[in-house]
Amino acid sequence: MVESRLHQINKKTWNKWSFYLNIIVFIVIALFIILLILDSYNAGKLAGHVSGDQLSQAWIYIARDVAFLAIALTWTFFQLFKSQLLIMRRSW
């Protein structure tokens, strides 16, 4: 059922939704870059004074930020190379 609905979406609508999705992904990338900077700064401050659970929690926050950035950047590069391949095919 879902596949039949996906086949009914025309190319113009699909491109519009893809554009909006890419805008959201860029916002997520910007947000998690800011969070990564803040979490790294806080972990650096904690490293000098505290050890144990608080420092481990700070490292978990950093790992979370890096994971979200990796996923969002992978999506972005996938879209970039997909678009580049489409442009190359059209120019042949």
Residue 27 is part of which domain span?
A: 12-91
**What is the distance between the alpha carbons of residues 72 and 35, in angstroms, rounded to a whole number?**
14
How confident is the prediction for the chain on average, in pLDDT? 86
Say if 6 falls within a structural domain: no
Secondary structure (3-state) at 17: helix
pLDDT at 19 > cutoff 60: yes
Say if 5 falls within a structural domain: no
**How many structural domains compose the chain?**
1
Say if 7 falls within a structural domain: no
**pTM of the entire predicted model:** 0.74
Contact between 59 and 40 under an 8 Å Cβ cutoff? The reply is no
Say if 82 falls within a structural domain: yes
Q: What was the pLDDT predicted at 3? A: 59
Structure tokens that stand for 34 in this block: 């800011």
Say if 1 falls within a structural domain: no
Nearest CA among 18, 15, 40, 32 for reference residue 71 = 32
pLDDT in tens, 43-77: 988 888 887 888 899 999 999 999 999 999 998 89
pLDDT at 27 > cutoff 60: yes
Q: What was the pLDDT predicted at 83? A: 82
Say if 56 falls within a structural domain: yes
Count, in order, helices (H) and strands (E) of the chain: 3, 0
DSSP assignment of 45-71: HHHHH--SHHHHHHHHHHHHHHHHHHH
**What is the distance between the alpha carbons of residues 63 and 92, in angstroms, rounded to a whole number?**
43
Say if 2 falls within a structural domain: no
Mean pLDDT of 10-36: 88
Q: What was the pLDDT predicted at 1? A: 55
Mean pLDDT of 22-30: 90
